[in-house]
Every structure is written in C-alpha cells, then in structure tokens.
A and B are shown apart, each in its own frame.
Chain A
C-alpha cells in the first residue's frame, strides 16, 4: 500500500494529543499553585481568576473523552461542573482548597479515561478517515503478497465485507457467489476464492440462524502467511469455524483495500468491525 494512495492524513497523532493530556494537570494544578501564592489578604489579584485553569482543563478533558470510541460520561460533563463550581453564583466561596480538590479530581478522571476508555482516535478524526494499526500493517502485507487481485474482484470483496458488516448475510453470500462465478476456476488468488467461499457458506448459515456444521470450508495451512489470525488446532472445530470467518473477512478487507481504491471510503466505514475481528 503506497502512502500516496492512502487517505491517512495524519502521521504523528501523539504530537497533538500528548500535550493536550499534559495540559489537564498542568493548567488545573498550575492554577491552584498560583491561587496559593496569591491567597494572602493583601494580594492584589482575586484567587478566583486562577480557577480559569480548572475550567480550561475541564474542556480539554471533555474533548479528550469525546474523541475516544467509548465515551466517558463523567469526563464529558466536567465543563458543566466547572461552570457550576467556579462561574455560577453560589453560597460557597471559590478558594484554593476547592480548586485543589477539583484539579486533583480532573487528574484522576484523566488517568481513568486513559486506562478504561481506550486510545483516542488520531487528532479526533474518526476511523472513517484513516486506516489504523494493526489493520494498516495487514493491508500493506496483503498488497505485497497478493498484488495480482483485479479491481473487479477487489470491488466484490469490498461489497461482500460491507454487506456482512451490516448484518445482510444473504446479500453478502450473493455477492460472494457472484465473485466466485466471475473468477471461475482461474482465480489468480486461490486464497481470495477460499475467502469468498467461506463468506458464501457462513453467510447463508447465519441468515438461517443455523448451527455451525461439522464440515465447513476453511483455509489450508499453506495460506497461513496471508491470514490475519493464526489457525487454531484442527481438533477445535468451533474455533476453526469462527477463525475461518474472521480470516476470510479480514482477507477480503485487505484485498479490497489493495485492489479497489474507489471502495476505500466504504471500507473505512467498516474499519471498526475489521479492527474488532483483529482484536478478538
């Protein structure tokens, strides 16, 4: 996969997100520090102004929560609390103790966000704009090892994957069937033909809500170089059945990404599903 064909816009997400993450404790606790320094009775500056650090940090934290795939409702609502504590008129005084407690809470929430709610998407862009790891590396591998796939087959692969991701299993099976008919017996990529066969078979079984059969189509051990997930032992039939489908879907995704550039926007909408298959 050449970089010039990739819709990936951004290369170094950390240069933007890490400073933002650091800004949360730095701004909030920095504001507290200044509030402590200027908290004397003869101080010319009202300590309430330093609560601005906590307010800005709250908005940054909410942004960091927003750009994650899983949303943390607590972090998302911190700007509201910052407004209630530091801006809205109330009976309790804004002093450095309140600011300190608030700043510590924000820092704890940031740690919780990073530990429990996954990594942020690059620059806040969704998975609909850029291909992420490990799928990106896998697509690059397939583009090197299976570069003889035609754009027509790539398009079929993209549509079959998209239909499967949408839960339209019969349509996915129909597309796989059409692809196999077009490729005939002279498929340049036998792995692609096997992947379509697996999609057709398992798509029809899912459509009928049928149990996994005793005998089913699966990849051979010679195909393992181009498969995303390693093949389980042959005696674990349920695992073999499920991994066959995962590998077939991921191979179709990578083949479509490599061979059919016009389908990349469609493939990016299904990236979340492909990443899930990888992670399982």
Chain B
C-alpha cells in the first residue's frame, strides 16, 4: 500500500490480529444480539487495530526516508572490522552478505551482515524498502549504536538496506 511517496508495509502480526478479531466479532455478532447492538463502536475499534499499525509504519518509514539522504552524504564506507565502540553515533556504510535475518515478521528486522573482515548486527526499527533475504549482498547505511542503548557491543542502527546483488541461490 502506498500513501504519498511512502510504501507502507504493516507487519503480518498486525494483519493476523485484525483477521482474528474480525472472525471473533463476526462469530459473536451472529450468536449474540447484545454484541450486534454494540457494532457501532466495535467495528471502528476493530479497524483501529489495522489503522494504528499502518499509521505508525507510515510515520517511521517517512522519517527514515527523510534522513536517508543525509546519511548517504555523511556516511563513510568502512569494513566491518573497523566499527568499534569509539564510533558510537557515527554514520557508516557497509557492504556485505546477509548471513541471518530475524524478526522480519514484526517489522523490526535484525540482520547479521558479514564482509571479509567480520560480521555485525544490523537492527532496523521499521520495515525495509526491499525484501532482504539470507545470502543477499547488501549495502547498509546507518549509525553505530550500542546493542542495548547504553551497554553492549556496537551494532548498526539501520536507516537503509538495499540489495546490490541478488542471492546466488
């Protein structure tokens, strides 16, 4: 779904929650006259289950789209090995192969991206523009942060991840 220039991608979980509650509501309204009398506010509430995640996704994706050019300009291309705790807050660009993908279903994907020098976690707090899979060669643009905000090893808070080569399989 596209709103303005922003491609909105609600998570599968959000859609599943909406579908489940729709089924519940349908079943309850068929069986109970009391529920039918409440449909005037139950149906808007049901749609809010879908509208709120879409709105949040739209806001986060439009914000990421706004800051991506700034990162594109400022980020330096580095090897993974050069990223360390002294670079917290620095914009970086890395190129590597996606070795693992987690939490895509929640629209909070976390990738393990490796190049010849090492591997690093890349966390994204919204859905990516492209569907990135294991073995894809990608370019990651983001900021070096600590894994748990104030502690933990350096990871990349991803602003943009795009495939620069298709997976070999």
Contact = CB atoms under 8 A, between A and B. Distances in A.
Contacts of B82: 167, 206
A211 to B, nearest CB: 9
A73 interface: yes
A169 B76 CA distance: 9
A69 B76 contact: no
A273 B93 contact: no
B86 interface: yes
Contact of A280 (B81, B85, B92): B81
* A270, A272, A276, A277, most chain B CB atoms within 10 A: A276
A276 B84 contact: yes
Contacts of B147: 70-71
B148 A167 contact: no
B118 to A, nearest CB: 6
B84 A238 contact: no
A69 B85 CA distance: 11
Contacts of A166: 86-87, 90
Interface in B60-107: 76-79, 81-82, 84-87, 90, 92-93
Given A70-B152, A280-B117, A206 B76 contact: yes
Interface residues of B, number: 22
A4 to B, nearest CB: 28
B84 A242 contact: no
Nearest to A70: B153
A71 B148 contact: yes
Contacts, number: 55
Contact of B117 (A209, A242, A269, A272): A242
B152 A167 contact: no
B151 interface: yes
B118 A280 contact: yes
A46 interface: no
* B76, B79, B87, B147, most chain A CB atoms within 10 A: B76
Interface in A226-246: 238, 242, 246
Contacts of B77: 206, 209
Contact of B87 (A70, A167, A238, A246): A167
A59 B25 CA distance: 46
A209 B79 contact: no
Contacts of B2: none
B86 A69 contact: no
A71 B82 CA distance: 21
Contact of B78 (A70, A167, A276): A167
B81 A162 contact: no
B92 A73 contact: no
B151 A273 contact: no
B116 to A, nearest CB: 7
A69 to B, nearest CB: 7
* A206, A273, A277, most chain B CB atoms within 10 A: A273
Contact of B84 (A73, A206, A273): A273
A273 B82 CA distance: 8
23 contacts: A71-B148, A71-B151, A73-B148, A162-B86, A165-B87, A166-B86, A167-B76, A167-B78, A167-B92, A167-B144, A206-B76, A206-B77, A206-B78, A242-B81, A242-B116, A246-B81, A272-B84, A272-B85, A273-B85, A273-B86, A276-B81, A277-B81, A280-B117
Interface of A: 69-71, 73, 162, 165-167, 169, 206-207, 209, 238, 242, 246, 269-270, 272-273, 276-277, 280
Report, nearest first, the 4 A-B pairs whose CB atoms are least far apart. A209-B77, A273-B84, A165-B86, A167-B87
